[in-house]
Amino acid sequence: MNWTVEYYRDSKDKEPVKDFIDGLPEKSQAQVIGKIELLAKYGVLLKEPYTRHIKGKIWELRIMIGKGYSRIFYFSYTGRRFVLLHAFLKKTDKTPPAEIDIAEKRMQDFIKRQ
């Protein structure tokens, strides 16, 4: 049974992860969408190298794009749902704390508005 994957939508109706994906070249978009489809198919059973736990309820979907890496932070919500919170191009070995903070704030906002 597949999981539902949805984009976080802020109070102004913006979907930051969708906007990030739309801004990528077509080939990179296809790679990202393919990994999101894997997440939907396998859910919590999808493990490394595709996913990794970050902090608390937040996980990352790991995607190699060309010679770089893209990360999409997400969390699981009730009813076999994943909510994609934040996406960025990873430029260092360690995940920048500011990127994690963005995801945490969006997760709190999502839960509060449900």
The model's pLDDT over 16-71, given as tens digits with 9 standing for 90+, comes to 999 999 999 999 999 999 999 999 999 999 999 999 999 999 999 999 987 789 99
Instruction: Name the residue ranges covered by the structural domains of the chain.
Output: 4-113
Q: Please check whether residue 85 is in contact with residue 6, taking contact to mean a CB–CB distance below 8 angstroms.
A: no
Please name the residues in contact with 100: beta carbons below 8 A apart, sequence gap of 6 or more.
54, 55, 58, 73
Contact 21, 87 (CB under 8 A): yes
- pLDDT at position 33, please? 96
User: Hey, what are 104's tokens?
Assistant: 């945490």
* Predicted model pTM: 0.94
Superfamily of domain 4-113: RelE-like (3.30.2310.20)
pLDDT-above-90 percentage for the chain = 86
- Count of alpha carbons within 13 angstroms of residue 17, beta-carbon side: 26
CA distance 41 to 101: 28
